[in-house]
Amino acid sequence: MRLSDLGGLVYSTESGRMCPGCRQPVAQCACQAARAVPVGDGTVRVSRETKGRGGKAVTVVKGVALDEAALALLGKQLKAACGSGGTVKDGVIEVQGDHVERVMDVLRQRGHAVKRAGG
């Protein structure tokens, strides 16, 4: 098996993530492979989770139909509104701490249909 059979370059320290289709940086991607917007039912679900986090609460936002760059920007804005840290990965925004109500208010102000999930 050759190295080229494995799919090529995935990440470069100079330009970050690479598109698997055109092998250009994702920001300069010419194909539509990296620009796919996730399809959902139009409802953003906000919940609080503690599983696998040593009892620490995390506010989880799922179902936002935005591309990767816009989702990262929204995650940054939510973290700033809560005054907390967090991450954006695999189409899910995680904000450290129990900020469900505050996150729901911010998302409603931005025009999203929001629903509290998980009791």
Q: 17-72: per-residue pLDDT in tens?
A: 777 777 777 777 777 654 555 556 778 999 999 888 888 999 999 988 888 888 89
Dihedral sign (CA 108, 112, 113, 114): negative
Per DSSP, 28 falls in state: G
The confidence score (pLDDT) of residue 80 equals 94
The confidence score (pLDDT) of residue 59 equals 94
pLDDT score of 5 more than 60: no
Contact 60, 92 (CB under 8 A): yes
Give all domains of the chain, ordered by start, each with its CATH number. 1-36 (no CATH), 43-116 (3.30.780.10)
Cα angle 4-91-40, degrees, rounded to a multiple of 5: 115
Give the predicted TM-score (pTM) of the model. Answer: 0.67
Q: Over the Cα atoms of the chain, what is R_g?
A: 17
